[in-house]
Chain A
Amino acid sequence: MNLVYYALQQLINALSIGSLYALMAVGLAMVFGILRLINFAHGDLMMIAAYFAAFALFANLPLPLAIGIMIVGTILVGLIMERVAYRPIRGAPDVAALLTSFAVGQILQNGTLLITRLLQKPSPLAFPVIGILSGVFAFGPITVPRVNVVSLIAGIVLLVLLSLFVTRSNLGLSMRAAAEDLHAAQLMGIDINRVIATAFAIGSGLAAVAALLYAVQAGQLTPYMGFTPVLKAFIAAVIGGFGTIAGAVVGGYALGALEVFLTAIPGIGDILPPGLVSPEVQTFLKTWLPGSLTSYRDAFVFVALILMLLFRPGGIVGRREREEMQ
């Protein structure tokens, strides 16, 4: 095999996975930036989005309409979540909101399970195949699943649009002000409720798009599928710089790269063609980077997270977190 092609292939893998994580993480980061709320129910929002899309497609609606329903439905659920569960506890210690988000997630998960059973749909639910998102693009020996390319493109487009919105529009400016200092923003006459609702709406919308891509990859839906994405989104947001959109994006790609790296490098001693490197190097690789390291991937990622929290709480982007006055 060609080491260059291998590296290139893994790089593209990392970018695609990174785009997905970035989309998921931005929603989380926006809400945290303004409210200091870690919304663990974000993953369940994604799950709801996937179910909306699935049911719309089962009803034989054309794809654009199904996507529209999915996005609108998810935004609605996100807004309701904000109004009912999070607004009443604004101003409470951060931990209260974090715990509440767990509870909200439980309600969403079990509610979906109940409804799925009542509608006599199977669980797990097979996600309908979407023609244009299946298949691969092949460039010589490098193959990229189409859905990964779409993730990459969609991710970049949406994130560019988002940054334009945040920097150019009034509402976006208000959001940045609120993220900087919530109380000062209020004093300046900014309608906090509107800003927060917008943050939730945008976050939910982005999560919905990420959910669609994720569901296409996974092929199957269960009410509990949101758990892993939210964990990844969360790690991405923290590593990149929690509370900032730029941080979430950077973190998403960083996490994607880290994960692919942790899968691609261990075991590389086994796949190098003989003669490419000297036998000593190969043995070194086999002993110190055995394939079994891959299963420790999650642990490594969390260690990186903790190190980041300890030494650089601002994340890769490095925006200085204001001191927590408890």
Chain B
Amino acid sequence: MTASFSWRRVGGPLAAILALSVVLTILQASGLAFWQGLFVNLGIFLILVLSLNLSNGFTGVFSLGHIGFMALGAYASAVLTLPLREKGDYLPNLPGWLAGVHFDFYLGPFPSGFLAATLIAAVFVSLIALLVGLVLMRLSGHFVAVATLGFLVIVRVVLFNADNFTRGSRTFSNVTPYTNLWWVWAWALLVLYIVWRIKRSSFGRAMLAQREDRWAAQSIGIAVMPPRLLAFVISAFFTAVAGSLYAHFITSFSPTVFYFDLTFRVITMLVVGGMGSVSGSVIGVILVVGLAELLRRIEDATLLYGISQIILAMIFIFIIVFRREGLLGQREIALDRWFERR
């Protein structure tokens, strides 16, 4: 299904990307670390939500354990990029083959080591996801939700205990801060594009079909396992990438970071935007991140600490009760229509 090239089709998205680049350049140049940080967080959450959308929203298989993949991606990539000196200081008990590895090399000004480490970590996590998926994809409904929750806990316990690799409960620190606006948004746009294309493809339609009605889909010959598994693995890959970006942004973390709170926040963004809608994910992320920050300031001003979590939870319940498919449901914002003559 080839699309004929037309400025109308490409113009909208292209204009959006152009606008984004302008915003990012201004941000980068301004030196305002706070706003840069906000946009980096926005981008990382976008990758997380889009990945989760691919797994949960498209296939209807609800995974509550994706943050486990993020954790594994974060730790794996950080262990790889940690320079030799820090490795010796903080991870003295690494096995020999890992102790000598340090992905802190550059290709000119480009941190190719960071990219390599991210990719290797993501592939590693995808393999784990493949195994997990093969085991868990047979379940459905709340059973798979529960089982993936178990995965999240298991990952956390393993990370706490494998302290030769992870420092256990002690904070993993002094990670080189490679992540910046460009990295995050380049990855985010890539994920956006890939998930968008998947949704539009026959493969994506198969996924959505078996989300709607598993038995009907099977009866017309759509195999259930392959799309579910593939979606699960792809989403794990990008979740791990998000983990690597996060690790190299915040430069210190421990297993407690990757647990229920973060899971719930990502799910909130997913549900608010609409499971199954790509532009819904974008809207959901911007709304929730923006709201959370606004509420946080209100909290600090009024001393009503805790109110932001309450309000966000209430909004969540409101959406689930009154508009369960989220703000956009499965529809998309068609950027090309903005350029149409009215």
Contacts and interface: CB of A to CB of B under 8 A. Distances in A.
Question: Is there direct touching of A and B in the complex, by C-beta distance under 8 Å?
Answer: yes
Interface in B2-47: none
Contacts of B215: 325-326
A306 B141 CA distance: 14
A3 interface: no
Interface string B248-284: 0000000000001000100110010000000000000
Interface in B181-238: 213-215
A99 B161 contact: no
A36 B264 contact: no
Interface in A29-87: 36, 38, 85
Contact of B317 (A103, A113, A309): A103
A85 B306 CA distance: 20
Contact of B138 (A99, A111, A310): A310
Contacts of B136: 306, 310
Contact of B320 (A96, A298, A303): A96
Contacts of B160: 295
Interface string A287-316: 000001001101100110110011001000
B146 A100 contact: no
B154 A302 contact: yes
Interface of B is mostly: helix
Interface stretch (B99-107, B308-316, B331-339): B308-316
Nearest to A118: B304
Contacts of B316: 99-100, 103
A238 interface: yes
Interface string A211-238: 0000000000000000100010010001
A167 interface: no
Q: How large is the interface on A (under 10, 10 to 19, 20 to 34, 35 or more residues)?
A: 35 or more
B150 interface: yes
Given A88-B321, A92-B324, A106 B310 contact: yes
Contacts, number: 122
A325 B305 CA distance: 43
A85 B157 contact: no
A100 B324 CA distance: 11
B127 interface: no
Interface string B284-319: 000000000000000000001111011011101100
B139 interface: yes
Contacts of A306: 135-136, 147, 150-151
B112 interface: no
A89 B318 CA distance: 11
Nearest to B212: A326
A324 interface: yes
A60 B304 CA distance: 29
B170 interface: no
A99 B146 contact: no
A292 B62 CA distance: 34
A104 interface: yes
A114 B305 contact: yes
Given A110-B307, A113-B306, A299-B158, A95 B142 contact: yes
B320 A94 contact: no
B145 interface: yes
Contacts of B62: 95
Contacts of A261: none
Contacts of A98: 142, 145
B153 A310 contact: no
A106 B264 contact: yes
A234 B317 CA distance: 22
